[in-house]
Amino acid sequence: MTRNTLRTTENEARHAPPAMRPRRGVEWRPTSAALADPRSRQVGRHSAPGRCLKATATLWIPSLLAFLSSACGPRVAPAGPGPQPEGGEAASASVRATATGKPAREIVVGEMCPRAADGRPAVKPLFVRSLTWSADSQDASAPVERRAVRQFSVLAWDGRRAGRFSVAGLAEVGEQDIAAGAYAGSSPCERPREAGDAGSYPECVSAQAECGVAVGLLERGSLDEQPFEEDAAPLDLDVGGACIADDTLLVDIDGDGVPEAYAIADFVNPVRAPAEEVFIAQRGSETCAPAFAIHHAVPPADPKHWRGLDLLGVVDLDGDGRRELLFSYHYAIRRTWAVYSATGSVARLDLVGEAEPWVTR
């Protein structure tokens, strides 16, 4: 373009009517549909939010004017590539529990032993239920370290509350992170005194050595509302029971009064580790009396390698309306705890956490 031609074009634009005079400094960048049209051109437009954007060229064809009219309206940010496919969020490293009416509470689950910390009571945190379940030792200990848990409710072998453990802080015993503090209550293996039958449950002593399941609530409120030194209200835990009939575990998971059936052998995989998932089974005609805990739910096969599976409790830990199952797998020189939860429906129980409890008790 020559200098005379450029000057002529600028004069025409300067003397054009206001409605056709281009605005300087702001450009309209056409969409991919407009770029695909060889008749399209770049024109100026006003950028004030909420105004209809007008074309300023004189040679626009009616189809492009219709396109610009349909684009009039408030300016918004691009919507992005579009919504993600359904179910994509569920594919995460840890399992997300599903609520059934009321929001799930955030809790820490551990094992309380009266004499494990050099003869003093202590709780070893094993699992934490926040947005998801986690059995990572650092995740389980972090709430204790930042003083988000002030008290654990300790459950007895029969499901009642045996006592309360007040948390003083995080400590170390060997290489284990533990919650140090004070325990007020009876042994988790002790029989109820009002029943008139003194002593301890022998199966509890054999399986747990006077230790018990401990559940603590993660507190998200301000400490100004209730000082840390004051005892928190104990957790209201919904406990249930289970029994074994014809090699089938009968347990009411959803609390509707009708027990679900699961093959007890399915909780142990071929290498005697916790199975990743257990599906509901056909229920037989046999019945049995439910109990909170069951010693040797799967009996030992070889004392040198496999010493059996114990059911430590049937309890709704996270408050989502479905009860979890807590198992203890006994091996030659160690134990491991596993938590199963109906994350989708009672038709399938998922392994949501596996951790190693106290090494020495």
Q: What is the pLDDT of residue 59?
A: 40
Q: What is the pLDDT of residue 70?
A: 45
Residue 152 has pLDDT above 50, yes or no: yes
Tokens 């281009």 sit at which residue? 22
Best mean pLDDT range from 13-17, 107-111, 302-306: 107-111
Q: What is the pLDDT of residue 216?
A: 97
Residue 15 has pLDDT above 70, yes or no: no
Per-residue pLDDT reduced to its tens digit, 332-361: 889 999 999 999 899 999 999 999 999 876
Mean pLDDT of 90-118: 67
Residue 46 has pLDDT above 80, yes or no: no
Query: What is the overall mean pLDDT for the chain?
Result: 78
Alpha carbons within 13 angstroms on the beta-carbon side of residue 295 total 12
Per-residue pLDDT reduced to its tens digit, 297-340: 999 988 788 999 999 999 999 999 999 999 999 998 899 999 99
Top pLDDT among 318 and 84 is at 318
Q: Nearest 10 degrees: CA dihedral of 92, 98, 104, 107?
A: -50
Instruction: Name the residue among 263, 330, 319, 324 with its Cα closest to residue 100.
Output: 319
Out of 97-101, 183-187, 240-244, pick the least confident: 97-101
Contacts of 77 (CB under 8 A, 6+ apart): none
What percentage of residues in the chain have a pLDDT greater than 90? 57
Per-residue pLDDT reduced to its tens digit, 222-250: 444 556 566 677 788 999 999 999 999 99
Mean pLDDT of 22-38: 42
Residue 92 has pLDDT above 80, yes or no: no
What percentage of residues in the chain have a pLDDT greater than 70? 67
Residue 196 has pLDDT above 60, yes or no: yes
Contacts of 265 (CB under 8 A, 6+ apart): 247, 298
Out of 99-103, 247-251, 264-268, pick the least confident: 99-103
pTM across the whole model: 0.71
Please state the domain extents for the chain.
107-355
Mean pLDDT of 108-129: 96
Q: What is the pLDDT of residue 53?
A: 37
Q: What is the pLDDT of residue 231?
A: 67
Q: What is the pLDDT of residue 359?
A: 83
Q: What is the pLDDT of residue 227?
A: 61
Residue 79 has pLDDT above 90, yes or no: no
